[in-house]
Amino acid sequence: MRQAGQERGCRIHGNLHWDWTCLRTNTLSLSWAGFRLCSVALALEVTVGKTNVVTALNGTDVLLPCTFTTCIGFENALFWWFYNGTKWLIKYTKKTTNPILTFSHPRVELPELTLGKENNISILLLSVDFSDSGQYFCKVKNPKEMNAQHNATLILNVVHELVKVDNTLTIIIVSAVGGFFGFLILVLLIKKCVLFIIKKTQEKKKECLVSSSGNDNTENGLAGSKAEQKSAPKA
């Protein structure tokens, strides 16, 4: 009933003077609704990129990518990396960009791209071997979003030799398609040239026919006049 009274008061007094109690209530309601909408649309989310599989050569260093997005920013956020869900690799906090390490495995480092960007929490795994293959979990906890948590999974495959991609089939297909279109263009050009030659030949034939017809008419006219001149003296 009180809420209904407040709403009626807003409607009644809206055209006469400001009802500050009603205005504050509506403003808070709109702010809370906007916050809820933002939380739904852009809640804390962690991702490892377009693909969650990373392949590395045995004995090399490999970057394990991970980034996160948040609606209202973060402060004193917590970040973890786990191996196979149980073994800790690194744990640290971030107020803005500078991380504060709590725990770090001897073969785990934070690369420069992690130190220079707020939302990048990738790690560098040094001198990987076959036993490092498995699942890696990147986890974020943001106290500023009511301790919201989210994580993403990445799979690392350590191999003895990187498989070279055979592009022979692709090259054959591209060459065949290119050859077909080239042949089609050549046929069209030949067709156009032949039609042009035929057209010119027909025009020349028409010109010859017109000129020969004119000559015949002239000769017939001259012969007729001579015959008339010869028959004229007879009286």
Give the model's confidence band at 229: pLDDT under 50 very low, under 70 low, under 90 confident, else very high.
Answer: low
Report residue 19 CA to chain centroid gap.
51
> Which SS3 state, helix, strand or coil, does residue 162 take?
coil
Residue 17: pLDDT band (50, 70, 90) is very low
- The average pLDDT across 43-64 equals 91
Q: Say if CB 48 and CB 63 are below 8 A apart.
A: no
pLDDT given at position 28: 47
Which contiguous run of DSSP H or E holds residue 170? helix 168-231
- With a pLDDT cut of 70, the percent of the chain lying above it is 64
Q: Strands across the sheet with 108-109, in order?
A: 62-64, 123-125, 108-109
Spatial contact of 79 and 94, defined as CB atoms under 8 Å apart: yes
- Residue 220: the pLDDT is 56
> Is 65 in a helix, a strand, or coil?
coil
Q: What is the pLDDT of residues 80-124, one digit of tens each?
A: 999 987 788 888 887 766 778 888 889 999 887 676 667 888 999
**Mean pLDDT for the stretch of residues 171-191:** 84
User: What is the DSSP code string of 8-57?
Assistant: HHHHHHTTTS--HHHHHHHHHHHHHHHHHHHHHHS--EEE--S-SEEEEE
Residue 162 clears pLDDT 60, i.e. is over it:
yes
